[in-house]
């Protein structure tokens, strides 16, 4: 059974509706194409250059690209089952789109240029409209030249509330980002340079929470906070330690998970990933405790201090239930699932191209590195490919733009297992549009929580198996969310038909 049938627009209806909203079109929105009982939340987003206060005085303001003058863009909030209608106006000098990351919606609303819609030209407006099928923490960002558009500040949180949320004292969203700034406070404009593209992406030098370099976060002893973490960075992976606290992960990528303490106490978030964490504020009144990002060894830094008020809220943590109600996800039937193999390779390591190194990296499986089909002959041809921007490969192919033949076709409403191999020396957060999937195994071992994700972080040389019911018809992007890797070829299309 599909949850998308009722909301799927036909291609004709989609084209007609976009035709109705052209240059300078003004709300009200086009009349709804069907009778819809659920309340509709209407939002306007205008993408345009602006100036923001990213770093504190005496640094200058930072010229950035913003939604409605803000970084992050406005937090969009609605209730599960409600409908969202967003008019996106393009005030940039280049084309854009908005992708609703992690939201299971009709293909025509997915915001992928050329694949699901004509890009929104400068001065044009496009109206997105869909139902919030799942509750959870999602986010939005452009899918057009995203390595620069997201990197300059275009992103925002999208929160879908459960009809009956768990009890907490405060619901807090932290959108994490990582910027590469120059002395003046301006964004370094070396977007898409060859080094970033072929190594670990555009890792910056300034980390922000909700668009500000954070100093302190005020809290009270005994308080229970639901902290919604969103990693909006192009490339930085976070591994957050909340010193002296015991965070409980209750959702990943918006989807509920059995409440658990994160491995090693670190909440790890690759680009685009989210985690909902319940934090019982356990510090002494008047004290300060640090949140440390420990992901990159030797490069640990203090992200922010939790600053405790002198008056406690209560003496001990409340014992309210933590379990979130499940979303309506179809359960994959593993015994009858169709199996597909996907290998990622490419990238640089120590001046060598990983894809060329065959099995010599010693991961035990000598065929592993080439996996995707031995397309790399000699260094010369590889350098040629790198010049053309093709550095990363999925099953032997590097994407150029968003127009491509599907790399996999999945039978609709069937269960599928995608067995993925990371044959590179780098981490990759792999994202599938239009679906959530269960992460069922890592390196052959079943995962403890069989977590639902839309973006799964693969460690170097790791094998990860994911399972899903392909219930949402259309052509869906499947790509690495390190935006430089995506731009340099690590992207493909999965067709559900």
Across the strands, what pairs with 242? 291
160 lies in the site for Cu ion, by CB under 5 A: no
Give the span between the Cα atoms of 325 and 145, in whole angstroms.
36
CB of 479 to Cu ion, least distance (A): 8
Please state, in angstroms and as integers, the Cα–Cα distance from residue 42 to each residue in 8, 83, 86, following that order.
19, 9, 6
Is residue 257 within 8 Å of residue 450, measured between CB atoms?
Answer: no
DSSP letter at 96 equals: B
Kindly state the smallest distance separating residue 353's Cβ from Cu ion, in Å.
15
Among 428, 433, 438, 463, binds Cu ion (CB under 5 A): 428
Closest listed residue to residue 236, CA positions, set 263, 207, 258:
207
Rounded to the nearest angstrom, the gap between the alpha carbon of residue 415 and the centroid of all alpha carbons in its chain is 24
Q: Residue 462's closest CA among 483, 436, 444?
A: 444
Q: Residue 451 has which token pair?
A: 């977590």
Please, which residue, 71 or 480, has the CB nearer to Cu ion? Answer: 480
Nearer to ligand C2O, 370 or 430 (CB): 430
Q: Are 439 and 433 in contact (CB under 8 A)?
A: no
Choose among ligand C2O, Cu ion, none what residue 477 binds, the Cβ cut-off being 5 to 8 Å by kind.
ligand C2O
Applying the rule CB under 5 A, the residues between 433 and 492 that interact with Cu ion are 480, 482, 485
Which residue lies nearer to Cu ion by CB, 122 or 460? Answer: 460
CB nearest ligand C2O: which residue?
101
Only one residue has tokens 């997105």, namely 128
Instruction: In angstroms, give the least distance from the CB of 116 to ligand C2O.
Output: 11
| 435: partner contacted, choices ligand C2O, Cu ion, none (Cβ within 5-8 A by kind) | none
Q: Which does 199 bind (CB under 5 to 8 A by kind): Cu ion, ligand C2O, none?
A: none
Q: Which is nearer to ligand C2O, 176 or 357 (CB)?
A: 176
Choose the one of ligand C2O, Cu ion, none that binds residue 428, judging by a C-beta under 5 to 8 angstroms depending on kind: Cu ion
Closest CB to ligand C2O among 141 and 236? 141
Instruction: Write b or e for each residue in 339-368: b if 16 or more Cβ atoms lie within 10 A of its Cβ, otherwise e.
Output: ebebbbbbbbeeeebbbbbeeebeeeeeeb
The binding site for ligand C2O (CB under 6 A) comprises 99, 101, 141, 143, 272, 431, 433, 477, 479, 481
What is the distance between the alpha carbons of residues 68 and 223, in angstroms, rounded to a whole number? Answer: 33
Q: Rank residues 101 and 220 by Cβ distance to ligand C2O and give the closer one.
A: 101
Nearer to ligand C2O, 115 or 355 (CB): 115
Interacting partner of 245 out of ligand C2O, Cu ion, none (Cβ under 5 to 8 A depending on kind): none
Nearer to ligand C2O, 235 or 425 (CB): 235
State the Cα–Cα distance between residues 374 and 353, nearest whole angstrom.
Answer: 13
Tell the smallest beta-carbon distance from residue 478 to ligand C2O (Å): 8
Which window, 149-157, 254-262, 308-316, 427-435, contacts Cu ion (CB under 5 A)? Answer: 427-435
Q: Which does 480 bind (CB under 5 to 8 A by kind): ligand C2O, Cu ion, none?
A: Cu ion
Interacting partner of 108 out of Cu ion, ligand C2O, none (Cβ under 5 to 8 A depending on kind): none
Nearest approach, Cβ of residue 431 and Cu ion (Å) = 10
Local structure of 218: helix, strand or coil: strand
Four-CA torsion 207, 485, 74, 120, nearest 10 degrees: 150
- Distance in angstroms (rounded) separating the CA atoms of residues 334 and 321: 31
In angstroms, give the least distance from the CB of 272 to ligand C2O: 5
Q: Which two tokens stand for residue 204?
A: 């910056």
Note the residues at the interface with Cu ion (CB under 5 A): 428, 480, 482, 485
């Amino acid at each position: 059974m599909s949850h998308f049938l009722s909301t799927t627009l036909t291609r004709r209806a989609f084209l007609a509706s976009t035709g109705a909203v052209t240059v300078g079109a003004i709300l009200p929105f086009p009349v709804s194409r069907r009778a819809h009982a659920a309340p509709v939340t209407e939002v306007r987003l205008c993408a345009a250059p602006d100036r923001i206060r990213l770093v504190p005085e005496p640094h200058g303001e930072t010229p950035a690209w913003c939604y409605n003058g803000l970084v992050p863009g406005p937090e969009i909030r609605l209730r599960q089952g409600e409908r969202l209608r967003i008019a996106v106006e393009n005030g940039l000098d280049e084309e854009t789109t908005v992708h609703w990351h992690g939201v299971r919606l009709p293909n025509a609303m997915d915001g992928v240029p050329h694949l699901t819609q004509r890009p929104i030209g400068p001065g044009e407006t496009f109206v997105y409209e869909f139902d919030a099928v799942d509750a959870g923490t999602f986010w939005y960002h452009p899918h057009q030249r995203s390595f620069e558009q997201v990197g300059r500040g275009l992103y925002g949180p999208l929160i879908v509330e459960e009809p009956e949320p768990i009890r907490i004292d405060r619901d807090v969203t932290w959108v994490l980002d990582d910027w590469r700034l120059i002395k003046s406070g301006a964004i370094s404009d070396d977007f898409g340079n060859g080094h970033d593209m072929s190594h670990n992406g555009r890792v910056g030098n300034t980390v922000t929470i909700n668009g500000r370099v954070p100093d302190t976060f005020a809290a009270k002893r005994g308080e229970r906070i639901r902290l919604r973490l969103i990693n909006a960075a192009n490339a930085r992976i976070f591994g957050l330690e909340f010193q002296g606290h015991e965070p409980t992960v209750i959702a990943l990528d918006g989807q509920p998970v059995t409440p658990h303490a994160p491995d090693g106490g670190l909440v790890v978030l690759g680009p685009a990933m989210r985690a909902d964490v319940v934090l019982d504020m356990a510090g002494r009144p008047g004290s300060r405790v640090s949140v440390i990002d420990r992901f990159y060894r030797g490069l640990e830094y203090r992200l922010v201090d939790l600053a405790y008020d002198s008056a406690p809220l209560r003496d001990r943590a409340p014992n309210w239930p933590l379990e979130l109600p499940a979303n309506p996800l179809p359960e994959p039937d593993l015994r009858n699932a169709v199996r597909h193999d996907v290998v990622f390779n490419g990238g640089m390591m120590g001046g060598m191209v990983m894809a060329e190194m065959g099995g010599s990296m010693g991961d035990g499986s000598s065929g592993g590195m080439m996996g995707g089909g031995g397309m790399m002959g000699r260094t010369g041809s590889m350098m040629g490919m790198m010049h053309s921007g093709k550095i990363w490969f999925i099953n032997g192919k590097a994407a150029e733009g968003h127009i491509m033949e599907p790399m996999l076709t999945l039978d609709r409403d069937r269960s599928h297992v995608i067995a993925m191999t990371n044959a590179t020396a780098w981490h990759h957060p792999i994202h599938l549009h239009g679906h959530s999937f269960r992460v069922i195994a890592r390196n052959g071992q079943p995962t403890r929580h069989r977590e639902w994700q839309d973006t799964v972080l693969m460690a170097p040389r790791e094998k990860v198996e994911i399972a899903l019911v392909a219930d949402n018809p259309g052509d869906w992007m499947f790509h690495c969310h390190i935006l430089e890797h995506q731009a340099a070829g690590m992207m493909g299309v999965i067709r559900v038909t």
